[in-house]
Structure 1
Amino acid sequence: MKIDLSKIFKMVPVILLGALAFACEEDPDKLDPMRMFTPAGDIKAVSGETQVKLTWNPSLYTTSNSGVTYTVEVAADTLFQTPIVASVQTDTAGVVFTDDQLEVRQKYFARIKANALSDRPESKSWAVSSSFSIRGMQIFEALTASSITDKAVLLKWRETAGLTRIELTKRNAEGEPVGEPIVTTLAEEDIAARQKFVQGLEASTAYRAEIFRGDRIVGYLTFTTNEPTVGNIINLTRFTDRPSVLEDTLLQVESGSIIVLKKGVTYNISESVALDRSVTIMSENTVEPGKAEIFFTSNFDFAEGAEVDSVVFKDVKLRGSDIGGSYVFNISNASTVGTIKFESSSVENFRGVTRIKTGGVTVGKFVVTKSIVNSVANYGVLTVDNSGAFANNIIFSSSTIYNVERPIVSKSSSNSIVVENSTFSDAPEAGRYLIDFNSYDVTGGITFRNNILGRGKAIGEDNAVKGIRAGSSTLIQSSGSYATSDYNATGNQIEGLTVYGGSTTDLFTDPGNGNFTIKDPDFAGKGSAGDPRWR
């Protein structure tokens, strides 16, 4: 093949001119100043009563003295299509918004960008936060079971100047307001007493109470009034000097009766009472402080062959005489019981709360709700101590369990276990399980959600505990629960626990004396986990 060199030589000047033009073209990456980067990482929010603090990681390639500033905008939606309610510039990687700028308890979102710095352009994009809010002042004290009746509520608050009124509004099933609020003006004597008794409410109705200082809400809570006490009522409140009256009455009443006891009075169970009928035992429906107390030197049982729909303890204190030998129930006879329930009650100083020690016993549902169980030895809150006995469905809800060696133990299978919104501390004892079914299955699974686990009950220096033990076919579902840093589980650990950075005493006000009020305002589970009375 013959090559025409003359044509190639003619192309050389063209190629050289093109190369020269390319070489003279500006390189934008070299000549443009480096663009400011959007703040890196998550935007963190810490909510307080009157403010919320947002923090973020500084933009890349900046230092604390580089002069970088940020624009922060706040709106009620993530797309920022609603009006921008607040916009600020800051020269630090954090900003505080107060209740003068944002509405309390309103959900907001923030977006943040780095501003232009000298010849460096601003961020091209915004970093957007998760939702946050200002928690709002909360001067109301937590309600107790004794604070609420079927027609009234006793509201208490911490000392605060300038209070003006309380408003109560009915709420429907969706939590939405219904009708006009009940407005109660606070007199000077109410403010001095730090409490107000509000009457004229409807039974079995949800309400939201708000307390105002001028036009600003400084406290809020929700509650549901009690069901009216109806049915076959056995009123024992007038018997204040006869401790045996409850024991004398139990086997004389009709099945399904409601026995009403006087608050502040102690009633004795000095001999074993073999129940053969349904009964509810409750304190009187008043806002007087305290509870009626039942003192056990013996225990309840069920009669041989009894078929009992339910036994319910409501707003009473149950106290054993001997932590080494007392029980509420020590069931020794074959029987069928629909429900055993402890509601809004306190239970303390027992060897065991409910022990089923013989075969042929079936309890359909065992419930502990809105209650406090304290100082219970090796038979725990519930022990099914015979493979021929069954507690089919077990529920612990909105309760506090502390100084308890073995909360739940069974030598037989169950249908379901739900433990939710509860606080545990010094429970179980070192080497013990929180829930122990050994190799027996819970066929419908175990649900463990929104709980707080504090330290285990120590034996000497050892407080290492175990989590949940059940048969291999048992599904264990855990969510929304927290453990303190001194909760030490060495076996059968509960999956999905979030570890709080502090100890039991860092989180709770006075756990040794039964005060589990959460004192750390930055605890992530403050509004969602543990017994609600302490949040």
Structure 2
Amino acid sequence: MNLNNLIKSITVIFFAGLLLLGVPSCNDYDFSVDESFNRTFRPPLFSAEGIRASSVRLEWEKVRGAKSYLLEVSRDSLEFIDPVQYELPYHQDSITLTGLMTESRYSARIKAFSATGAPESEFHEITFVTLGEQIFEEVIRGFDDLSNSNYLELRWMPGSEVTHIRIEMLEGEPEIINLTEEEIEQGYKLIESLKPATNYLVRILNGESRRGWYSYTTFEAYPEGYRVVNSEEDLKSILDISGEEHLILVLESGAFFDIRRPQLSADIRHLELLANPVKERPVVNLTTLTLHQNTESVTIRNLELFGDSHTSDYIINENKTTNINSIVFDNCYLHTFRGVVRMQNSANTTQLELLKVNNCVVDNIGGFGFVNGSADGGYRFENIEITNSTFSLIIAHFMDIRKPGGSYIIENCTFYDVIGHGRGFLNTAGVDNFPEILEIRNSIFGKFYYVGEYREDESVRSVNPYFPNLFVDGSYALSDFVINPDYPFVGIGEYAKTSEEVFANPKERDFTIIDSAFPGRAASGDPRWR
């Protein structure tokens, strides 16, 4: 007998022996059974898919031998208080639920019923949260000059299921505005008379369900006593002869004003030149604003100012002592000047407490830089704050201040074609003229200014002479911003790509960051380009 036949014989004898001994049936146990477990299996897989603001698709794995399912859904966290019930046939394995509340937690559970009469299964439970929804298609922030108030235009898909708008502030009770049928069908609502300089949260709802929202801060109101000036009025004469101590002029949006060498009257101590914060900027051709010795503050907001030439004109060029303690440029476009703010003359002992520049675009500034102070006189820049701004085509030093100063802070700025070969970000012309503090934070330096083709011996300086206490943080030099190693920007991050590779179109003044690998993409440079 060979080996295979022997194995077969042994196998037959073994199973015959088992039959003789007797094997108990599946129902003949010698121990008790808990009949509560003798029931239909529940669906082994159950999940919420395709979660949206007001809908969800529930999916489950079908149970063999089931004749139907019971699905229960409630708006809570596995409490199932007053659930909505759905009886579903055995062959169904999914259902899409619509009309849910946005940003809400729901619970769902499902169980199977047997086709053979066995008890139904246990529930399989899950919970999920619907997404937020945004049906606002356009939100327009507005400001009315005559009423001196903010307004908001809201647009959404016409005919959407909405009932009302809820307006909330940090303090006070929310305002409920019920929408008319006409407004719902048009998908448009004008909200007027909003408070100035106030944080608002505006929601559009369908019953309790939020369908869209918008959060913003309203614009500041014009100061009391303002006057609107249109393009037909003589702005220079107003500045020359006004008898008002606090002169507040709101220039007509989109208008053009030509003022040549205006001289502020002796009565004007505080001057504010303003314009609508959202409409087209008025354009002012200005060839040097001369302050009176009594002038204490100048604020220019929401204007475009330009000179005749970058070789001759300034915005402010003072050669005498004045009481000026603050100069502010906010949300302005400044271009084609020899310099923007200049102090000169041995008789000038002006103590400027604050020069503040915020949210501005500055272009085409000549040989005297953005801020200039001569070696003569006893003037002092106590605080210079330059934030959230863009500078391009400044051919010499960015700042050339040859007297000691206080604190110079530059933050969240973008520079391109700024600082000529051999020039500095700050020129003091001597160690005795250093400021007490010089900091550059979260800024980007693109290509420096040079004429024609770049030569390898060309570079720029941080501070001239070198200032060891310069603090640089969160800032980057692109590869075409070449720094003289003897005058370093200590702490600056050097990035290996050029301005053309990092910015969208720098030659046309579009500094939108297009390089997704650039480490300063989210937190450096002028925020308008991020």
C-alpha contact (below 8 Å) 2:143/2:150 kept by paired residues? no
Unaligned runs of 5+ residues in structure 2 are 1-102, 104-132
**In terms of Rg, which structure is larger?**
2
Give 3-state SS (helix, strand or coil) of 2:490's partner: coil
Which position in structure 2 is the counterpart of 1:53? Answer: none
Query: How much has 1:461 moved relative to structure 2?
Result: 1.8
- Residue by residue over 1:303-343, the C-alpha shift from the partner in whole angstroms, topping out at 9 and shown as x without a partner, is 3xx13220111111101111221111121222231011111
1:475 equivalent to 2:469? Answer yes
1:170/1:526 CA distance change after superposition, 3 Å: farther
Residue in structure 1 matched with residue 413 of structure 2 by the alignment: 422
Shift of 1:372: 0.9
Equivalents in 1 of 2:529, 2:140: separation in Å?
A: 10
Runs of 5+ consecutive residues of structure 1 not aligned to the other structure: 1-103, 105-135, 173-177
Aligned 1:272-421 pairs, distance under 5 A: 272-274=262-264, 276=266, 277-285=268-276, 287=278, 289-296=279-286, 298-303=287-292, 306-359=293-346, 360-362=348-350, 363-388=352-377, 389-405=379-395, 406-421=397-412
Pairwise CA distance, 1:275: 5.5
Once residues 327 and 257 of structure 1 are traced to their aligned partners in structure 2, the CA distance between those partners, rounded to angstroms, is 22
Q: 1:478 to 1:254 in 2, by over 3 A?
A: same
| 1:142 and 1:533 in contact (8 A); partners too | no
Per the alignment, do residues 171 and 458 of structure 1 end up closer, same or farther by CA in structure 2, a change over 3 Å counting? farther
Q: Which moved more, 1:388-397 or 1:448-457?
A: 388-397
**Deviation of 1:348 (Å):** 0.6
Compare 267-276 and 361-370 and name the one that shifted more: 267-276
2:196 paired with 1:203: yes
Q: Over residues 74-127 of structure 1, what are the superposed CA-to-partner deviations in whole Å (9 max), with x where a residue is unaligned? A: xxxxxxxxxxxxxxxxxxxxxxxxxxxxxx9xxxxxxxxxxxxxxxxxxxxxxx
| CA offset digits 1:123-142 (Å, max 9, x no partner) | xxxxxxxxxxxxx99x9999
Q: Secondary structure at the match of 2:500?
A: helix
- Using the size of structure 1 for normalisation, the TM-score is 0.61
Matching residue of 2:150: 152
Aligned to 2:521, the other structure's residue is in SS state coil
1:260 corresponds to which residue?
250
Query: Given the alignment, which residue of 413, 438, 445 partners 1:446?
Result: 438
Please state how far the C-alpha of 1:523 moved relative to its aligned partner. Answer: 3.1
In structure 2, relative to structure 1, the CA distance for the partners of 1:495 and 1:349 (3 Å cut) is same
Q: 1:347 to 1:184 in 2, by over 3 A?
A: farther
Please report how far the alpha carbon of residue 386 of structure 1 lies from its aligned counterpart in structure 2 after TM superposition. 3.3
Would the alpha carbon gap of residues 144 and 404 (structure 1) be closer, same or farther in structure 2, given more than 3 Å must change? farther
Q: Tell me if the contact between 1:374 and 1:403 (Cα under 8 Å) persists in the aligned partners.
A: yes
Q: CA deviation at 1:407?
A: 2.0
- Residues 265, 433 of structure 1: alpha-carbon distance in 2 compared, 3 angstrom cutoff: same
SS in structure 2 of the partner of residue 335 of structure 1: coil
Report the equivalent of 1:532: 527
In the TM superposition, residue 507 of structure 1 has moved relative to its aligned partner by 2.1
Deviation at 1:351, TM superposition (A): 1.1
Question: For the Cα contact (< 8 Å) 1:302–1:333, is it kept in 2?
Answer: no
Equivalent pair of 1:446/1:474 in contact (CA under 8 Å) = no
SS in 1 for 2:382: strand
Q: Give the aligned CA root-mean-square deviation in angstroms.
A: 4.2
Counterpart Cα distance in 1 of 2:142 and 2:493: 30
Name the aligned partner's letter for residue 441 of structure 2.
Answer: R
Structure 1 residues 441 and 386 mapped into 2: Cα distance closer, same or farther (>3 Å)? Answer: closer
Per the alignment, do residues 374 and 286 of structure 1 end up closer, same or farther by CA in structure 2, a change over 3 Å counting? closer
Which of 489, 494, 498 aligns to 1:499? It is 494
| Deviates most, 276-285 or 411-420 | 276-285
CA 1:267/1:479 → structure 2, altered by over 3 Å: closer, same or farther? same
| Deviations 1:358-396, CA, capped at 9 Å, x for gaps | 132322211111111111111121101233232221111
Say if 2:197 and 2:218, in contact at 8 Å, map to a contact too: yes
Match of 2:512 in 1: 517
Deviations 1:16-68 (A, max 9, x none): xxxxxxxxxxxxxxxxxxxxxxxxxxxxxxxxxxxxxxxxxxxxxxxxxxxxx
For residue 446 of structure 1, what is the amino acid of its counterpart?
L
| Deviation for aligned residue 1:421 | 1.0
Q: Secondary structure at the match of 1:533?
A: helix
Q: Secondary structure of the equivalent of 2:504?
A: strand
Deviation at 1:347, TM superposition (A): 0.3
* Distance in 2, Cα, partners of 1:445 & 1:500: 26
Q: Does 1:225 align with 2:203?
A: no
Query: Identity of paired residues, percent?
Result: 21
Mapped to 2, the partners of 1:168 and 1:502 lie a distance apart of 46
Q: In the aligned structure 1, how far is the partner of 2:259 from the partner of 2:139?
A: 32
Equivalent-residue separation in structure 2 for 1:188 and 1:500 (angstroms):
53
Looking at structure 2, the residues matched to 211 and 437 of structure 1 have their Cα atoms a distance apart, in angstroms, of 56
* In structure 2, distance between residues paired with 1:431 and 1:211: 58
Return the alpha-carbon distance in structure 1 between the equivalents of residues 178 and 525 of structure 2: 32
Q: Contact 2:170–2:200 (CA<8 Å) still a contact in 1? A: yes
Q: Structure 2 CA distance, aligned partners of 1:168 and 1:462?
A: 57
Contact 1:301 1:333 in 2 (8 A): no
